[in-house]
Amino acid sequence: MSTADAVVETDLLIIGAGPTGLYATYYAGFRGLRVAVVDSLPELGGQVTAMYPEKQIFDVAGFPAVKGRALVDGLVEQAATARPAYLLDRTASTLETDDDGVTLTCDDGTQVRAKAVLITAGIGKFSPRPLPAGEGWLGRGMEFFVPSFEPYAGKDVVIVGGGDSAFDWALHLQGIARTIALVHRRDAFRAHERTVQQVLDSDVDVITKAQVTELRGNGTLESVVLDVDGQSVEREAQALVAALGFIADLGPMQQWGLEVEKRHIVVDSAMRTNLPRVFAAGDITEYAGKVRLIAVGFGEAATAVNNATVAIDPSAKVFPGHSSEGS
């Protein structure tokens, strides 16, 4: 449905179409619920689709390694069994609860009337942290994400950052880019130790105590100027990836009356929030011992859907039996 000012009636509304939201969509269908899914991005898959579709993911049960794009494709196929109504490229703006259900209004005027809501919005809306020297260079050789490796074939690439994304992209671009330099302002890294060691053992030129001071080129990027421990160094580069992390923002959700702790929604063991009929699962949640992994999000999604089912229909059971027992 794409018509603004429409009213969508459903049993369960899921806010967020990333991996956790897609699995919750499937599971809601398994529980016999009608389901609608709202997401501010124009495509399914959330951060995985937007930021690292080519990245190998290692923490999903049953897959020694799976590309982000392949994982999303499988989740979308699985979710299709629930015949969901997808409301993409629109932001959840206001949320009102009453004794009978929840009403969500989107930024385009679309209203969704649901019997329960499950928030699986990851980190909420996110925007990349800017590279000060890169102002005006976006799309002219500088990018924040690497959705495809093909544009980097045969190029001299500079990656700026010290986190998982920077090291993952440095690792995966080997054999594709002509040269790779990873630039970080400190000599300690936030990335996973195993990945850091793989990059250090590779042909990637790791430059620490350094920062980018200038991008040069006639129309498109030709070189990058670095300050390396006080010394100015110019390096040939036709592509720069500014992997400096991103700024997370819960956006309008902060005005809904949810209990929030450090930009995360507090839930109990049933994935209930402090608002009636409103549940949450995945990276957006907070509770004692929380671990932010895709695999954890899948389990939380099933817990949330099963408990939401009882909120929708008090005669239902929390545990429906195993999906393998279905016909």
Binding-site members are 20, 39, 47, 52, 92, 126, 283, 324
Query: For 229, what's the count of Cα atoms within 13 Å in the CB-facing half-sphere?
Result: 5
CB-based contacts of 195: which residues, under 8 Å, 6+ apart? 164, 167, 168, 171
Binding-site residues for FAD, in ranges, read: 20, 39, 47, 52, 92, 126, 283, 324
**In this structure, are residues 92 and 253 in contact, taking their beta carbons and an 8 Å threshold?**
yes
Longest C-alpha distance within the chain, in Å?
71
